[in-house]
């Protein structure tokens, strides 16, 4: 029987790449999505065409009931979950001086509360030797203007990783985070000018922005047996960006 992986935000650029990579590595995958059912269906069909097995399940990651239902539905449809990869998140930008509390609350609810809820449910559902992989961001080290609420949410995520790793160690469950640098997903490319992208390329010693496959490969490592001694870490997968 194939091991089961839940990938939140699996219709996004990185999440979708992670789902496809884990499927190719022999996992049955849960394509989590929040709103776009058609994209989720397309992601499932793409994996099935490649010979894999996938199901799509909707949930609001900031809602504890829906997160619990996500895990319960995954177990009913595919079986016991072995790996949880939490990529779901949002990144609206706002200068701190504006005091935009609505944007701040929305980011914290999705990025930090959502991560907390997914980690909590994973802690209750995963069996011995499971893997929890969440997402931070390398932009923490850059402290760009307008990124305040986003950076605050991701700094909180990194704190949670260390604590949960200590809480679950006696069950052989590893808990790690990946902090990507700039990655050329459709959303990233659409929301930035060519000048902005060129400036980010200059900040990276390897002379390019990342690709989704750069990130999914590291997820595959953390989800596999070779990472059993990697725990409580934040892997900054960014080409030297920060």
Domain ranges (residues) in the chain: 4-182+212-234
Distance CA 75, CA 114 (A): 20
Residue 188 is predicted with a pLDDT of 79
Angle, helix 114-125 to helix 64-77, in steps of 10 degrees: 40
Task: Give me the pLDDT at residue 135, please.
Answer: 98
pTM (global) more than 0.85: yes
Task: In whole angstroms, give the CA distance from residue 239 to residue 181.
Answer: 7
Q: What is the pLDDT, as a whole number, of residue 193?
A: 87
Query: Which residues, listed in sequence order, are joined to residue 176 by a DSSP beta bridge?
Result: 133
Active site residues: 150
Q: What does the pLDDT look like over 166-187, one tens digit per residue? A: 999 999 999 999 999 999 888 7
Instruction: Find the largest Cα–Cα distance for the chain.
Output: 54
CATH for 4-182+212-234 (1.20.900.10, 3.40.50.720, 3.40.50.1980, 2.40.110.10): 3.40.50.720
Could you give the CA distance from residue 43 to residue 99 in angstroms, rounded to a whole number? 38
The reported pLDDT for the residue numbered 43 is 97
Q: Residue 191 pLDDT more than 80?
A: no
pLDDT band at 221 (very low <50, low <70, confident <90, very high): very high
């Amino acid at each position: 029987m194939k091991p089961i992986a839940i990938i939140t935000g699996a219709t996004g650029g990185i999440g979708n790449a992670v789902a496809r990579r884990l499927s190719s590595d022999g996992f049955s995958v849960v394509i989590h999505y929040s709103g776009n059912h058609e994209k989720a269906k397309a992601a499932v069909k793409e994996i099935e065409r490649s010979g894999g097995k996938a199901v799509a399940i909707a949930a609001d990651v900031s809602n504890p009931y829906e997160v619990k239902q996500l895990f319960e539905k995954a177990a009913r449809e595919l079986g016991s979950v072995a790996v949880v990869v939490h990529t779901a998140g949002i990144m609206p930008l706002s200068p701190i001086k504006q005091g935009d509390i609505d944007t701040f609350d929305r980011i914290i609810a999705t990025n930090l509360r959502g991560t907390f809820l997914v980690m909590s449910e994973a802690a209750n559902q995963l069996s011995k030797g499971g893997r929890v992989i969440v997402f931070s961001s390398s932009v923490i080290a850059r402290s760009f203007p307008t990124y305040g609420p986003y950076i605050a949410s991701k700094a909180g995520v990194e704190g949670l990783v260390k604590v949960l790793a200590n809480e679950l160690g006696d069950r052989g469950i590893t808990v790690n985070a990946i902090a990507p640098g700039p990655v050329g997903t459709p959303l990233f490319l659409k929301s930035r000018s060519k000048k902005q992208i060129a400036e980010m390329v200059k900040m990276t010693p390897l002379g390019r922005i990342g690709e989704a496959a750069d990130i999914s490969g590291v997820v595959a490592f953390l989800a596999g047996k070779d990472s059993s001694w990697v725990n409580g870490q934040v892997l900054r997968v960014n080409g030297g960006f920060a």
